[in-house]
Amino acid sequence: MKGSKIVHISVLQKEIIQYLSPRPGDNFIDGTCGGAGHTLDILKNIGEEGKILALDLDSHALASAQERVAAAGGSRQNQIVFVNENFARVAQVVEANNFRPVKGILVDLGMSSDQLEGSGRGFSFLRDEPLDMRFSIKQDLTAAAIVNQWSGQDIEEILRAYGEERFARRISQQIINSRRLKTILTTQELVRVIARAVPARWQHARIHFATRTFQALRIAVNDELGNLKNFLPQAVDVLEPGGRLAVISFHSLEDRIVKRFFQEKAGAGQLEILTKRPITPGDQEQQLNPRSRSAKLRVAAKLPAP
């Protein structure tokens, strides 16, 4: 992260180690390496022989993760293979790196605090930055492209579907009206447009009135739900029997996808669900790290083929 000193606080660290249960010699995949918090926790438990395949779509995040691992893990950093890739391509990445057997896979979805506060890519409605929101700067689609080029109907649809935004129509109409006069290029320009669309009494609600629009744009720019849907079956394929899949999600849209996938695979005799209800952070963690409040962890184990 450019010039930033923000360090992402990992969520549910104790629970991840408890459920993934890493032991000396085991191989793990961290599909969302981010600040490398979970990667380092796993590294501490896999002895000198175990390996980690650490993916992140964001090359800046991956570079700072490598620095953190080098600082904390010394020569043990050689046990980690860092790959700037989408977890939606995990099967190909496993093949390309001949990374088997796989004892466990973790994805900790969404963005990190470093990206929110230090990337300069417009994830936060509290900052004034270009409307970008890409995890991977290699992709073309940006939040500015959606806001300035998509039809009002398509914008309304993503605000409703990915933001569960009650004022989706009013906001999309206001975006169309505003962009006729001037292209919307920055986060604060967009916040002012949203403010004109949201009724005054909603502008003092507990949740900031721009939250849902920003969430929806980020999910759409990065195709977050599509990536998750593509990832889950591949994760089951690459796991060895008995291996575990852990997913931390931060909103109901993601959690629903994971819950349904686990139920479907459990019904087909391919997975055993280890978390009947999602695991959530305790009071102490929520106080120390308010961002953890919406986290939900679901874990399943791969069953041997009949």
Ligand X SMILES: C[S@@+](CC[C@H](N)C(=O)[O-])C[C@H]1O[C@@H](n2cnc3c(N)ncnc32)[C@H](O)[C@@H]1O
Which residues lie near ligand X (CB under 6 A)?
8, 10, 31-32, 34-38, 55-58, 61, 86-88, 108, 110-112, 135, 227
Give first-to-last CA distance, the chain, whole Å.
47
Tell me which DSSP letter residue 279 carries.
Answer: B
Cis peptide preceding 278, ω within 30 of 0:
no
Select 35 or 163, whichever has its Cβ closest to ligand X: 35
Q: Is 91 exposed, middle or buried (0-12, 13-18, 19+ CB in 10 A)?
A: middle
Select 140 or 268, whichever has its Cβ closest to ligand X: 140
Tokens of 260: 């349904």
- Spatial distance between the Cα atoms of 103 and 21, rounded to a whole number of angstroms: 9
Specify the 3-state DSSP secondary structure of 192: helix
Dihedral sign for Cα 60, 17, 229, 221, please.
Answer: negative
- Spatial distance between the Cα atoms of 27 and 53, rounded to a whole number of angstroms: 8
Select 178 or 234, whichever has its Cβ closest to ligand X: 234
Quick check: 144 and 150 in contact, CB under 8 A? no
Distance of closest approach, residue 62 Cβ to ligand X, in angstroms: 8
Distance of closest approach, residue 105 Cβ to ligand X, in angstroms: 12
* CA 247, chain centre distance (Å): 10
**Which residue's C-beta sits nearest to ligand X?**
34
Distance of closest approach, residue 113 Cβ to ligand X, in angstroms: 8
Select 93 or 190, whichever has its Cβ closest to ligand X: 93
Distance of closest approach, residue 88 Cβ to ligand X, in angstroms: 5
Select 165 or 224, whichever has its Cβ closest to ligand X: 224
Distance of closest approach, residue 177 Cβ to ligand X, in angstroms: 33
Distance of closest approach, residue 201 Cβ to ligand X, in angstroms: 33
Q: How many CB atoms lie within 10 A of CB 195?
A: 14
Quick check: 144 and 184 in contact, CB under 8 A? yes
Select 58 or 117, whichever has its Cβ closest to ligand X: 58
- Give helix 211-221 / helix 152-163 axis angle, nearest 10°: 100
Distance of closest approach, residue 61 Cβ to ligand X, in angstroms: 4
Distance of closest approach, residue 222 Cβ to ligand X, in angstroms: 6
* CA 54, chain centre distance (Å): 14
Amino acid at 66: Q
Select 43 or 193, whichever has its Cβ closest to ligand X: 43
Select 57 or 299, whichever has its Cβ closest to ligand X: 57
Quick check: 50 and 25 in contact, CB under 8 A? yes
